[in-house]
Amino acid sequence: MPHLTLEYSANLNTFDAKATLLAINTALAATGHFVEVDIKSRSHRCDTYAVGTASAPRAFVHADLAILSGRPLDTRRELSASVLAVLQARCSAPASDPISPIHREYSRSNAAS
């Protein structure tokens, strides 16, 4: 049940968020750690943002991957590297990709029938 939230600055005029989400989902599925249909991703274009203190136009892309807690460090590193590789291939802006835990005792799932 990984959830990926992709944020990017509005000045990335040629950035294709939908294609990037699909590429990240594909990369995550290829790791073998998740069932493809369980990967959920979304993007948010940031119209109001600041990068540093300069008034010059600067850009960013940030992907936060939330996964159930308890995954080994090597697995988290592999997942992070997979996401970062996609971001670097699809965008020249500085990229970050932290992994956030979803604590198992708080996770809830409601499958649609």
Q: Over the stretch 24-39, which tens digit does the pLDDT of each residue have?
A: 999 999 999 999 999 9
Residue 113 maps to a domain: no
Q: What CATH number does residue 70 fall under?
A: 3.30.429.10
Q: What is the DSSP letter of 5?
A: E
- CB distance 53 to 87 below 8 Å: no
Is 72 or 106 the better-scoring residue by pLDDT? 72
Beta-carbon contacts of 96 under 8 Å, excluding residues fewer than 6 positions away, are 60, 61, 62, 63
Are the C-beta atoms of residues 59 and 93 closer than 8 Å to each other? yes
Domains contained in the chain, number: 1
Is residue 96 situated within a structural domain? yes
Question: For 40-99, how does the pLDDT look when each residue is reduced to its tens digit (9 = 90+)?
Answer: 999 999 999 999 998 888 999 999 999 999 999 999 999 999 999 999 999 989 898 888
State if pTM tops 0.85: yes
Question: Domain range for residue 37?
Answer: 3-50+58-106
DSSP letter for each residue of 21-54: HHHHHHHHHHTTSS-GGG-EEEEEEESS---SS-
On whether residue 112 sits in a domain, the answer given is: no
Tell me whether residue 111 is in a domain.
no
